[in-house]
Structure 1
Amino acid sequence: MLLSASPQYRPVSLDASTRIVRALADRGYNADREAVTLLASASDPQAAIERALETVPDGTVVVTADHVKEAVDTPANGPKSAGSSQPTETDESGQSDDSQHPPISTGDSHDQPTDSRDGVPVETKGSENDARGSDFRDRDSTSSGRSPVEPELSGDIQSTGTGEYDDFVSVFRNRYEKLAAQLRGRVNHRPTDAVAEMSGNSDAAIIGMVSDIRSTASGHWLVELEDTNGTFPCLVMKDRDFADDVQTLLYDEVIAVEGSLADDAGILFVDTMHFPDVPRTYTPSTADRPVEAALVSDVHVGSEEFRADAWQRFADWLHTPEAESVEYLLVGGDMVEGVGVYPDQDEELDIVDIYDQYEAFSEHLKDVPGDMEIVMIPGNHDAVRLAEPQPAFDEELRDIMSAHDARITANPSMVTVEGVSVLMYHGTSFDEIIAELPDEHASYENPEGTMAQLLRKRHVAPQYGGMTRIAPEEEDHLVIEEVPDILHTGHIHKLGYGTYHNVLTINSSCWQAQTDFQKSVNLEPDVGYAPIVDLQTLDLTIRQFV
């Protein structure tokens, strides 16, 4: 609700309100908008805070206007009023543009041959015009009538792997069984040893894990597939209309092929290739009320290049009336810069102790409205094992990051928010996938293309033994068993979004300016963008806070 709708109180500056909210947060309290206004209007706000906190009953979390009125003397008729107005959005030239910020649905650039920027969200400046132009909104759920539902988490793990040979066998067998189950309804397949016993020229189908890919002297593709019974060679002729799909194959992913055996039955000529994929008819779930979620990643607190100013503008904006429906914050990993992640990183650190980095991150998290539901997963810069899946933080780090009772789970994890399933994956496998596949299928400038590959393969880290470290567990937690409504990733510090078979894909940007290391690898990061998803419509708006 706008402050102009409450004429009994005089307007106070956003900076004053910010100081009040932070002072209360430091003491473990939230406050409703009216209480903040009263405290900021007092002649001595600091003393008013102390008196108000002395009056609140034990166990109180939200300071209300009644608590403040009991402790602070106010004029009989209330403070004098003055009008205020909602900030007007402007374009880059400074001209007013009332239509600049409507939520706009992303276009399905992978299903239709349209320009990749048609129908994508409008990018908006969320700093001076948004966060500084109006006072904090009421984030107290009891007075605003809003109460975010606690997200459901699925995917947190306890590591069981010992590094023994049997663990590797177990995880790959589990991967095969999970992905083969998604393909069995499409092909009448037989095990590789049974296909090897068939007569020449017979029709056959195989579901297998890619164990080898190579081109022939004639330019055809020879793909060797492995199942639990053995291996079998499959030939994709270069003139097939799906021959380009072979260029997107990665070792260790699971596919199905159909075709006919050669005269001697020693090779299968492929007529059709199937990926586990997301059904084209998939219909995502949506919330049953107007509610939004902010999806961010790669904060990198502790780096000299951490953009604290941008994060503060984002946090301030979350307190404004314009962000009233943003009730969830999903953080996709790399909360801190970490220590020893890349060569000479210590020369680029502002905070050199990893625990101090998490303490600082927790302080920045306190600037977010206290009634928001927050979910976080680790990333490759965080203080967890590098091998995926990454278990959630240990108890010591959880205690440090306890602001607002944030929920912490593994990487990856499925998080259900208001009935909408969000697959949160930090995205470390992007580096390997981008290195292996042609640019038109995966690149740093096209994160949504890489995300489409993950969904098509139904696995967030298909290839083993390369740049992506994968831990041997009893089961493969990296398989995308259930189709998510949203896939949320980060890691590569580039903003990207799109849809793939009706799944909304979002790769968040970062909150860290370019480091010397990033310059050395020619990475120009996208900084300070916050994707905001309307969970009722899955429309997406991109806001920038730098």
Structure 2
Amino acid sequence: MPLETPARIASALAERGFNADRTAITLLADATDPEAAILRAVETVPSGTTKITTDHVERVLDSSQTATESDGRPRPGDPPSSGSTGATESDPSVSTASGENSTGQGASTARPGATPTSPSTQSESSVEITGDITGDSTGSGEYADFLSVFRDRYERLSKQLRGRVTHRPTDALDAMPGGSDGALVGMVAEIDSTRGGHWRIELEDTNGTYPILVLKDRDIASAVEELLTDEVIAVEGTISDDGEIMFADAIHFPDVPRTFSPSTADREVSAALVSDLHVGSQEFAAKAWERFADWLHTDEADHVEYLLIGGDAVEGIGVYPDQDEELSIVDVYDQYERFAELLKRVPGDIEVVLIPGNHDAVRLAEPQPAFRDELLDIFDATDPRIVGNPARVTVEGVSILMYHGVSLDEIIAELPDERANYDEPQKAMAQLLRKRHLAPQFGGHTRIAPEERDYMVIDEVPDVFHTGHVHKLGYGSYHGVLTINSACWQHQTSFQESVNIDPEVGYAPIVRLDRLDATDVGEYLTIRTFSD
């Protein structure tokens, strides 16, 4: 059985029930007789082991070489005898179209022209995950949990604002004489309009609340239209003569500093950002996904080494009314089995990172932990990095904030159309960056789980901000941060039609991680289309 590529090595191992390290795959592919090396590896693997390690393959190849040198007879790993066709012909019994995987990184087939990676570096993942709730959830739903998450939100966001204003706590403002200049960092407790058309904002800190008046004829009045309850802002102004209220002169959001400059990779490498496959739906765009997976095997995609999936891998069950009538796969475990099969079509040298979404089989309240063990077992053959939602994924030194994006619905519903809308999801994403929080308003459409720590705060500015959920393609640059909503792989369902959602299907934004500091987004972002 000729085996000239890592793709066929992975497939052959999978057929025998084995997974393997990526470096082990490479070593077997580089052997002079890969078929014999595979047989030797699987025959000598310790009992009960299902994953072949790099060390094991190295020992197999070393012992083969030693045996050949001692008696002159060919051993696994020796070159074929003269007249043999060797490993130059493709064997139809080994599937490459389906891309069975044993690489341990969610993929199984290698690509012509792919950037070579040495065994010493290939075994070490260049992906780092932070900000993941998985395994650290402590919330019990008690009052103390709610108090804790709001206090943590205030303390962390207020630190980002206090360098810009001379903050005085609310009780200190109460004691200041009329006409004094004041500044307050607080959480928006209430927003009301007065009879005269002005805005009254109640700001709360850890000591109490204080009223702010924003006059309608001031330039800053437009900023009030962007405010949401529970977000943290800073206000500068003048205390009224009676000391009962502050007249606002300036409103500050935590925001992304205008001096921000993104980090870049130190070599030519790209990441594909996709979201919302909804496998199991009758409207899943299977052909589009196949075309995308096939494209990943081409020379044109040889620098795409990462695939980041932003949630809703499957359609799920019971997510919306009468959903069962639009399912092609009615069991959620079977949906994940099918999704895992689709991942096998992705090349073996691409690392896959996946976060959950609101259709996935995890808790609806955010932050969402990664899948439970019984679901993770489904991915044994592909082994993507499955983490929580949200999560910060650092790839080649580039920080990518992955968030499925349920709160985008709330942002779009609450703010004026010119500030946030479904056709331009990057505008709503910019609002989240400006507020430095992924779900600033509590108690609305977005379910928030109270934890000791607020996992939705954006402490550090990401280089790339990736969302999905709204099934619309949108991208832009906000103060140097690349914002991408990567559309979906599901055609319009009857439910989506009933709520006027017209999805954009089959898009794969490709980001050049070494060019993020370019002045034009087009210099580092390419949008690939695979739908009909």
Output the TM-score relative to the length of structure 2.
0.81
2:528 aligned with 1:543? yes
Quote the offset at 1:405 in angstroms.
Answer: 2.5
Instruction: Look up the match of 1:394.
Output: 372
Distance 1:78 1:144 in 2: 27
Structure 2 residue aligned with 1:525, among 503, 508, 511?
A: 503
Residues 202 and 509 (structure 1), Cα distance of their counterparts in 2 relative to 1, 3 Å cut: same
- Partner AA of 2:307 in structure 1: L
Answer whether contact 1:32 1:139 (CA < 8 A) is retained. Answer: no
Q: Which runs of 5+ in 1 are unaligned?
A: 1-11, 40-48, 82-133
Distance 2:467 2:375 in 1: 22
Instruction: Look up the match of 1:457.
Output: 435
Residues 304 and 481 (structure 1), Cα distance of their counterparts in 2 relative to 1, 3 Å cut: same
Query: After superposition, where does 1:203-282 map in structure 2 within 5 Å?
Result: 203-282=181-260
| SS across alignment from 1:207 | strand
Structure 1 residue aligned with 2:130, among 135, 142, 154?
A: 154
2:284 aligned with 1:299? no
| SS across alignment from 1:285 | coil
- Partner AA of 1:423 in structure 2: L
- Per-residue deviation, residues 15-39 of structure 1 (Å, max 9, x unmatched): x999997666555478779979x99
Residues 75 and 431 (structure 1), Cα distance of their counterparts in 2 relative to 1, 3 Å cut: farther
2:165 aligned with 1:165? no
Answer whether contact 1:17 1:135 (CA < 8 A) is retained. Answer: no
Aligned-pair identity in percent equals 63
Distance 1:161 1:77 in 2: 63
Quote the offset at 1:402 in angstroms.
Answer: 3.1
Structure 1 residue aligned with 2:395, among 401, 417, 425?
A: 417
| SS across alignment from 1:422 | strand
Instruction: Look up the match of 2:317.
Output: 339
Answer whether contact 1:376 1:407 (CA < 8 A) is retained. Answer: yes
Distance 2:428 2:200 in 1: 24
Quote the offset at 1:218 in angstroms.
Answer: 1.5
2:411 aligned with 1:433? yes
| SS across alignment from 2:190 | strand
Between the two proteins, the alignment pairs up a number of residues equal to: 470
Quote the offset at 1:408 in angstroms.
Answer: 1.5
- Give me the CA root mean square deviation: 3.2
Structure 2 residue aligned with 1:181, among 159, 172, 189?
A: 159
Query: After superposition, where does 1:73-92 map in structure 2 within 5 Å?
Result: none
Distance 1:148 1:527 in 2: 34
- Partner AA of 1:456 in structure 2: R
Quote the offset at 1:293 in angstroms.
Answer: 0.6
Distance 2:111 2:147 in 1: 58
Quote the offset at 1:346 in angstroms.
Answer: 0.5
Structure 2 residue aligned with 1:193, among 171, 174, 178?
A: 171
2:342 aligned with 1:364? yes
Quote the offset at 1:150 in angstroms.
Answer: 2.8
Answer whether contact 2:9 2:29 (CA < 8 A) is retained. Answer: no
Structure 1 residue aligned with 2:425, among 443, 447, 453?
A: 447
- Per-residue deviation, residues 74-128 of structure 1 (Å, max 9, x unmatched): 95688999xxxxxxxxxxxxxxxxxxxxxxxxxxxxxxxxxxxxxxxxxxxxxxx
Instruction: Look up the match of 2:298.
Output: 320
Residues 145 and 272 (structure 1), Cα distance of their counterparts in 2 relative to 1, 3 Å cut: closer
- Per-residue deviation, residues 32-80 of structure 1 (Å, max 9, x unmatched): 79979x99xxxxxxxxx9878435565378999x999969889568899
Answer whether contact 2:273 2:308 (CA < 8 A) is retained. Answer: yes
Structure 1 residue aligned with 2:39, among 31, 54, 62?
A: 54
- Per-residue deviation, residues 301-349 of structure 1 (Å, max 9, x unmatched): 1111111111111111111111111111111111110010011111111
